[in-house]
Amino acid sequence: MARTATAPGAPTTRLGKAAHEIDDRLIVAGPLRRTLNKVFPDHWSFLLGEIAMYAFIVLLLSGTYLTFFFDPSMREVTYEGSYAPLRGVEMSAAYDSALDLSFDVRGGLFMRQVHHWAALLFVAAIIVHLLRIFFTGAFRRPRETNWLIGVTLMVLALLEGATGYTLPDDLLSGTGLRIISAIILAIPVLGTWAHFAVFGGDFPGELIIGRFYIVHVLLIPAILLALIAVHLLILVKQKHTQFPGPGRTEHNVVGNRLFPTFAAKAGGLFFIVFGVIAALGGLVQINPIWLWGPYNPAQVSAASQPDWYIMFLDGSTRLFPAWDINLPGNYTIPALFWPTLVLPGILFTLLALYPMIERKLTGDTASHHLLQRPRDVPVRTSLGAMALTFYLLLIISGGNDVLADKFSISLNAMTWVGRLGLIVLPPLAYAFTYRVCLGLQKHDREVLEHGIETGVIRRLPHGEFIEVHQPLGPVDEHGHGQLAYGGAPVPKRMNQIGGARRAIRGFFTPIEEPAQVELEQQREERGVASAEARELTGSGRPSEGGKPQEPRD
């Protein structure tokens, strides 16, 4: 850029002048540069939390649209809309307006389904993100605070989903509400008081949809938004964790600067997430409320299931034995109390406190910014597998009637499979995972010590057959590798250390000169071509190779 020499560094372009004017007033150049220069590590699993955040943005947008049409009222009206099969049926204004949204608002059904799919994806992304954090040890000091905020976000997301599920007041959501009512009633001592406070009287009353509505559209979203902001601020302040690898230490972050690479990729991911939700919202029907009909306390459909993220509680409720605790004086602790309130209470408390528990048990109070591979922490990984088995079995049990029906299994057998499975399978999962972790660890060490199996079999002069191994680094006099394991993935196939030639680019016709590529490969100092160019020695395989590489699993 040519500069006129009036004041040195003074902007000459219009854009530059405008930027100058802005900075004169707001003094943002410094903070903006620091933001643009911020380095983010690059790994697919770091995108999971982003997916949750983008789903949340879609939820806010689509949810706001829905509020323009939805009437959260339990006033009885007669349906007169364009869905003929329900015309003349008495229903609540909430269900009536949800039907109008689906049939009489142009694109309303699409937006409703987008909102529902975004909610399903939101919770799913949160949970997968949580698993990533858990299994890689990203919750360790100094990130316990963000772990706690994350667990809170997840619980709030579940509550947000449950309140939203209730709003349309169709037969399915009313059945869910009836169960929520029973759960509140099941609280010892305070249950009936809590129920009358929440519902404003006996079930269902006339207030609950309006109350759930304001909780769903204002209270919980506001808290979610604030907590997400804090979650991100802490992330930025503490900087992202990274997997161990070349040049990566506890005191740096290796990756791309925010601008332009990371911003382009993250922006692209936002559009992809939004696009996938939009495609699902249009193409895959979800919650066709007009088929369920208005809520009627005397009716229910078979296979009434909650959304997937509440299924684990439905499962626990189905499996828990019929154990009322009858106390003297005609007082009862209902059986429903244990699987619906105590169990999630214990689960979420354990989850929230896990970083502290692990710190206590291992005595590891140091700050960690490098992640661990799950195999290197077999106890934690196995505990996680155990918890996951427990959780998945609860989810499956939440649909045990459907499974029993589809696979012609006895329903009672499914219940017993769930009951026994919850006790037997988690310890088995623990033992199995622990063994797998140790096996993977040993294999890493073996490859570091003996090299990669090349698949080349040699016959020695005295007749013995051996497989040629490619060492990953310098070897001692016995031919054993001297590289120590560094917590990073160990390459296990020849191609990962440049064992194959690069493919010629071009889809239908090559757009490169193959001979040119061959020459280029030979000039490079690694790979088959260069080795062949040097001389055919040893196994004919590259002698130089793989220090631990960037994670690629």
Partner 1 sequence: MTTHDTRPGSTGGADTAGPLHGGPDDEYTPEQLAAMPREDLDRLGARYDGVEVLHVEPGPEPGSALERRYVRQIGAVFALAGLAAFGFVVVYLGSGWFLPDWEWTIDSGTWSTLFTPLLGALMGLSLILVGLGMVLYARKLLPHETAVQDKHDGSHFDRVTTGATLVGGLHNSGLARRKLITRSLAFMGGGLGLMLLLPLGGMIKNPNTGNPLGRTSWAEGVRLLRDDGTPIRPGDQVAGSLETVFPAVPGGNRQADAATMLIRLRPEQVAESDPRAGQADFGYGDYVAYSKICTHAGCPVSLYEQETSRILCPCHQSQFDVTQGAKPVFGPATRSLPQLPLAVDDEGYFVARSDYIEAVGPTYWNRERI
Q: Which residues between 441 and 460 bind partner 1 (CB under 8 A)? A: none
Helix, strand, or coil (residue 459): strand
Q: Which amino acid is at 20?
A: H
CA-based nearest residue to 165, from 75, 98, 219, 110: 98
Report residue 108 CA to chain centroid gap.
28
Classify residue 34 by its DSSP letter.
Answer: H
If the CB atoms of residues 58 and 452 are measured against partner 1, the closer one turns out to be 58
**Contact positions with partner 1 (CB under 8 A) in 29-48:** 33-34, 37-39
If the CB atoms of residues 435 and 523 are measured against partner 1, the closer one turns out to be 523
- Cβ at position 1, least distance to partner 1 in Å: 7
**Contact positions with partner 1 (CB under 8 A) in 356-385:** 367, 369
Specify burial of residue 457 (Cβ count, 10 A radius: 0-12, 13-18, 19+): exposed
Let me know: does 95 contact 170? Beta carbons within 8 Å. Answer: yes
Among 225-233, 259-267, 349-357, 459-467, the segment contacting partner 1 (CB under 8 A): 259-267
Among 45-53, 199-207, 216-224, 341-349, the segment contacting partner 1 (CB under 8 A): 199-207
If the CB atoms of residues 123 and 313 are measured against partner 1, the closer one turns out to be 313
CA-based nearest residue to 545, from 485, 493, 479, 501: 493
- Cβ at position 464, least distance to partner 1 in Å: 45
If the CB atoms of residues 178 and 526 are measured against partner 1, the closer one turns out to be 178
Among 161-169, 293-301, 372-380, 435-443, the segment contacting partner 1 (CB under 8 A): 293-301
- Cβ at position 307, least distance to partner 1 in Å: 15
Among 154-162, 248-256, 496-504, 538-546, the segment contacting partner 1 (CB under 8 A): 248-256
For partner 1, the binding residue among 11, 210, 282, 487 (CB under 8 A) is: 282
Classify residue 455 by its DSSP letter.
Answer: E
Cβ neighbours of residue 25 closer than 8 Å, sequence gap 6 or more? none
Among 216-224, 325-333, 355-363, 477-485, the segment contacting partner 1 (CB under 8 A): 325-333
Q: Is 82 in the site for partner 1 (CB under 8 A)?
A: yes
Nearest 5°: phi and psi at 333? -100, 110
Q: Is 270 in the site for partner 1 (CB under 8 A)?
A: yes
Cβ neighbours of residue 511 closer than 8 Å, sequence gap 6 or more? 505
Among 12-20, 102-110, 379-387, 427-435, the segment contacting partner 1 (CB under 8 A): 102-110
- Cβ at position 128, least distance to partner 1 in Å: 19
Residue 362 tokens read as 């291992």
Q: Is 173 in the site for partner 1 (CB under 8 A)?
A: no
Classify residue 9 by its DSSP letter.
Answer: T
**Residue 142: cis peptide before it, omega within 30 degrees of 0:** yes
Q: Is 400 in the site for partner 1 (CB under 8 A)?
A: yes
Let me know: does 132 contact 138? Beta carbons within 8 Å. Answer: yes
For partner 1, the binding residue among 88, 321, 461, 474 (CB under 8 A) is: 321
Virtual CA dihedral for 272, 276, 281, 285, nearest 10 degrees? 180
Q: Total binding residues for partner 1 by CB under 8 A? A: 115
Beta strands in 39-131 (DSSP E): 39-40, 76-78, 90-92
For partner 1, the binding residue among 62, 73, 97, 113 (CB under 8 A) is: 113
